[in-house]
Amino acid sequence: MQFEVGAIVEGKVTSITNFGAFVELPDKSTGMVHISEVAPTYVREIRDFLTEGQQVKVKVINVSPDGKIALSIKKATEAAPQQRRQPRQAAPVSHRPGDFEWHSSSNSGSNFEDMMSKFKATSDEKISDLKKSHDGRYNGHGRRGRGNGGNGNGPV
C-alpha cells in the first residue's frame, strides 16, 4: 500500500529513540515520527508522550524516493476537526535578572499603569546599583576620554 502525503492513518508505536518514534502502519511498513512532530509543545523526552505498543493517529508528511515515510502525530491531531486545540496554559512564573516578576502569578487587579510603575521603579533601582558599583570600582574615573588619548595610560 502506497501512502500519499497528507493521508491520516492509524499505526502502532514499535520503538522509541532519542530523536523520534517508529510507527508500524496498516500495510506493515514502518514510518518515523521525528521528535519535533510528536506534540504541539516542546518535547524533551519522547517517552513522556508515547509508549511502545501505543496506537496513534499519524499524518504522512513526506515519502522519500527511497521509500522512507516521515510521519507527524502533531499534524494529525491538528487536522482532526473534532479535536480543537486547547488554549495554552499560562507559563510558570519566571524570574529574570534582578528577580523582577515579568508575568504576574495572579490576576490581582493590577492594571497596566501599576505594572509599568513597578517595572520603572525596579529598573531605576537596578541602574542606580550598577552606577554605584561601577563608580566604586573606578573611584569615579573612567578609563577613557580623560585627556590622555583614551589609552588608560598617563595621569588622569
- CATH superfamily of the domain spanning 8-79: Nucleic acid-binding proteins (2.40.50.140)
Lowest mean pLDDT among 25-29, 54-58, 130-134: 130-134
pLDDT at 131: 81
The H or E element containing residue 12 is strand 8-16
Top-confidence residue, 102 or 9:
9
pLDDT digits (tens, 9 = 90+) for 96-133: 455 545 554 455 556 778 878 888 888 888 888 888 77
pLDDT at 143: 55
60 has a pLDDT exceeding 70 = yes
Q: Work out the percent of the chain whose per-residue pLDDT is above 90.
A: 31
- Please tell me whether the overall predicted TM-score, pTM, comes out greater than 0.85 for this model: no
Cβ–Cβ under 8 Å, residues 90 and 106: no
Top-confidence residue, 90 or 71:
71
How do the domains of the chain map onto residue ranges?
8-79, 94-141
70 has a pLDDT exceeding 90 = yes
